Each structure stands twice: as C-alpha cells, then as structure tokens.
Amino acid sequence: MLALTVSLCLAALAPAYASAATGSITGTVTDASSGEPVEGAEVCAGPFDSEEGVEACAHTETDGTYFIGGLDPANYRVWFWGGSQYVFEYFDGKRSWEDADPVEVPSGGKAAGIDADLDRTAAINGTVRASEDGLGVGAIDVCAYPLDLAEENFGRCGETAADGTYSIGGLSPGNYKVEFWPGFSGRKLAYQFWNHQSRYPQADILTLSEGEWLEGIDAELEPGATITGTVVNLAKGTPMDGVRVCTIDAPSNTLTVCTWTNEVGGYRISTLPAGSYKVVFSPEMWEFFPESAATGEDDDGFPTRFWDNQTTIAAANVISLGTGSTAEGIDANFGTPAVTPILTLPNPQAPIRRKHKCRRGFKKKLVKGKRRCVKVRKHRRPRHRHHSGTTAQRFFAR
C-alpha cells in the first residue's frame, strides 16, 4: 500500500519536474578585426521581456568560448562586454537594447552558437618620459577630453605602466585633447598637454575614427615649478586647514591647478610648467566656472583673496616661474587681528610726606644717613677754676 502511494506521488510530480528542467547558452567571442578569440569577455543573459535583472553571467575562456547554465526555459536577451577595448554589443551584433535578438532556451536543452564578433573601440596609445633622464615614468594619469560633447561621448583616462607606456580604450569617434598629469607619480614634474603644450587652449586636437588605434601620442615632461605658502586666520591667530588654493595662468586669467591647505595651514603646488601665475585663496568655483557651479556652494565664510592681499584678479600680483624653480612665502591672511586691550594703570603718586615734629625733649639728628628724633641730654655748665689772677681774686671768687 505504501509503495503504491509513493508511485502515485512521483507520477503526479513528474510533469512539474520535467517542466522545470533548465537549459543553457553557449557560444564564442572573437575580435572582429583579427578573428582571434577574446579571453575574459563577460557574457550575460536576462529575461527578454523584462528591462531589469540579470539571470546569469559567464566569462570567456582562452579560446573565447563561454557557457551559461541553469537557465529556465524562456527567451533571453544576451549581451557581450569585452572591456574598454571593445564596443558593448547585444546578440546578434546589435548596439542597442531595443534591437537585440531574442535567444530561446529550450527545456533541458541549450541554445548553441550564440556568438559575438566584437568591434574594437577607438584608442590612444603612447609613452611618457621625463626630460631629465629620458626614462619612462609610471603612475602618470593620461586623460582624453572630447571636444564633441554628447551623451555617448565622454572622456576617459589611463595610467602609465612602470615603463611609461599607456593605452586609453573605449573612446568613441570624435575629436580629443590629451593631458598628462604627474600629480601622483611621486616625481616633481610639470603637467603637459599634447603636443608639448603647457596650456589647454594651445593643445593639439586628435581626431579618432571608429575603431582606430592611434599610436605615438607621447609626452616628455620637464621638471615642475613650485609655489608654497601658509594661510592664517588673523582673528584667531591660528593656521587655516582645508582652504582651497589655486594657481591662475596670468595671461589668460584661467585656473590651472588647485590644492588645499593642511592642518598647519601650509600648501604646495609642484606640477607647474614655466610661466607667469597669480594665486587665489578661498575661491568660489562659480566665480571661474559660472556655467557649471552654483553660487555659494563653496562659500567657507571668507572672501576670495588674491596674492598679495589683493581683492580682485586684475590687481593680483604676478609670480614668474622658470622650469623647476620655487616661489616660497606666497601667504594669505584672513580676518582682522584680534585687538589686545591696553591696561591703563593708575598714575602712581609719590607718598605725601608730612613734617614730623619730635616730642618735647627730642630733636632731629642725622643718624646713619637718616633723620631721627633723638633725646636731648642737658649738660650742666662746668665750674671753672681760674688759677690765674691774684690771691685776692681767687679768694673773692669762692
């Protein structure tokens, strides 16, 4: 009886179990230009009738193949991401979510041949060296800024390897300017724009076509000039921490580099190309970028101040720097010094000396340099015995 019951239960569950059998998606990812397999590309599948959620993902092997298992029977949207060097793509060779072709996964079966030939994105490649020794420099940030502003066209950055080489992939076709920023390299080098320009407006323009790999975008960085100083709150007599300090290109009056003061009020900017600069303390960024910054968003309670104690950029003093030179003591003071109260002491008056009379029987005498009352001793008049004269005189004198 028990065996019969178990058999009936299994028979009832058999259709449901069979309908829940999972399937898989398999395929190969290759480079469209070379036909070589792409290793490490990410392949994901999500429900075709849903805009949200990812069912499962996998990465391609060394031969470019991939396998996504454990999928319920349904239609799926499949997409391929080969990293910044390749264009993001949906199956079958589509660039947008709406145009993707559905992939049907049968119950207990597999959808095979879901392949992708990935197109390469445009890329910029080159080497960064130091002019002092000609050797490659690592940890240099290299950024490509698009001149054709569009939602799908945005800038990208890369970092040089220890030998100075770099590659910036994932770029859309268009026009770019390239900057080399040495701020995190640990070396005192000046920033630069391609091709050997110290200012963004003068930088050369690079034009990239779709999938183009541009080589030889190199840079040779010179020693950077330095500006240092201290910011003090005069009202408190203490250094000011966290004050923004920026250098301004004197000819164009545009910001170049910004930093912040440390806990002892000091700052240092060491990546400047040779040239003429002004220095601004506590600037509000809307003053320089009114189209992209909100008024008052950087207000720290102190007015913008230019060196040396100037209130306008036109009046700001100019600092001329040579290659690798240093300008020290570019300081700023905020607030007014605290007023120290002056203590007025009463005018000391000489003690009033009153004439002191000695009591009866005393009179003043100088004793050891001081006048004192000394008792007066009366002296009796001595009797004189005169031995001269006649005998008669002596007699009558008794």
Together in a domain, 160 and 72: no
Answer yes or no: do 270 and 307 share one domain.
Answer: yes
β-bridge pairing 174-181 and 192-193? antiparallel
Taking a C-beta distance cutoff of 8 angstroms, is the pair 230, 265 a contact?
Answer: yes
In angstroms, the CA 180 to CA 197 distance is 10
324 shares a domain with 229: yes
Tokens of residue 241, six digits: 């921490």
DSSP secondary structure letters along 57-74: EEE--TTSEEEEEEEPSE
What is the sign of the dihedral through the CA atoms of 104, 105, 109 and 110? positive
Average pLDDT rounded to a whole number, residues 71-97: 91
Same domain, 196 and 128: yes
Per-residue pLDDT, 355? 55
DSSP characters over 141-190: EEEEEESS-BTTB--EEEE--TTSEEEEEEEPSEEEEEEEE-TTSSS-B-
Same domain, 134 and 208: yes
Percentage of the chain beyond pLDDT 90 is 57
**Is residue 369 assigned to a domain?**
no
pLDDT at 348: 56
Looking at 69, 98, 118, the residue that finishes a domain is 118
Residue at 299 is within a domain: yes
The answer to whether residue 362 sits within a structural domain is no
pLDDT score, position 13: 43
The CB-based long-range contact list for 194-197 (8 Å cut-off, 24+ gap) reads 194/219, 196/220
In this prediction, residue 294 has a pLDDT band, given cuts at 50, 70 and 90, of low
Closest CA to 305 of 297, 315, 295: 315
Domain final position from 312, 334, 356: 334
Cα torsion through 127, 132, 135, 140, rounded to 10:
-50
Phi, psi for 353 (deg, rounded to 5): -95, 120
Q: Which residues pair with 305 in a beta bridge?
A: 281
CA 269/CA 226 separation, integer angstroms: 5
Confidence of residue 7 (pLDDT cuts 50, 70, 90): very low
Residues 301 and 240 in one domain: yes
pLDDT (0 to 100) of residue 175: 93
Q: Is residue 238 part of a domain?
A: yes
Cβ-count burial of 304 within 10 angstroms (0-12 exposed, 13-18 middle, 19+ buried)?
middle
Asked if residue 276 belongs to a domain, the reply is yes
Residues 229 and 328 in one domain: yes
Domain ranges, residue 142: 122-221
Q: Which residues pair with 125 in a beta bridge?
A: 167
Q: Which one of 83-92, 125-134, 181-190, 298-307 scores highest in mean pLDDT?
A: 125-134
In a domain, 108, yes or no: yes
CA dihedral 317, 323, 329, 335 (to 10 degrees): 50
How does pLDDT run across 183-220, given as a tens digit for each residue?
888 889 999 999 999 999 999 999 999 889 899 999 99
Q: Measured at the alpha carbon of residue 176, what is the angle toward residues 172 and 180, in degrees to the nearest 5?
A: 115
> Does residue 210 form part of some domain?
yes
pLDDT score for 376:
66
235 with 205, same domain: the answer is no
Establish if 358 belongs to a structural domain: no
Residue with tokens 């007066």: 376
Same domain, 243 and 206: no
pLDDT tens-place string over residues 267-284: 999 999 999 999 999 988
Higher-confidence residue of 189 and 289: namely 189
Shared domain for 260 and 191, answered yes or no, is no
* Domains held by the chain: number: 3
Question: How far apart are alpha carbons 288 and 319 in whole angstroms?
Answer: 20
Question: Among 202, 221, 240, which residue terminates a domain?
Answer: 221
Beta bridge partners of 248: 255, 278
Same domain, 216 and 264: no
In this structure, the answer to whether residues 217 and 231 fall within a common structural domain is no
**CATH code (residue 276):** 2.60.40.10
114 pLDDT band, cuts 50/70/90, is very high
- Range of 25-29, 105-109, 241-245, 365-369 with top mean pLDDT: 25-29
Q: Is this model's pTM higher than 0.85 or not?
A: no
Residue 143 has pLDDT above 60, yes or no: yes
Question: Helix, strand, or coil here: 394?
Answer: helix
Q: What's the whole-number mean pLDDT along residues 363-367?
A: 70
Structure tokens given for 128: 């960064």
Distance from CA of residue 340 to its chain's centroid?
A: 37
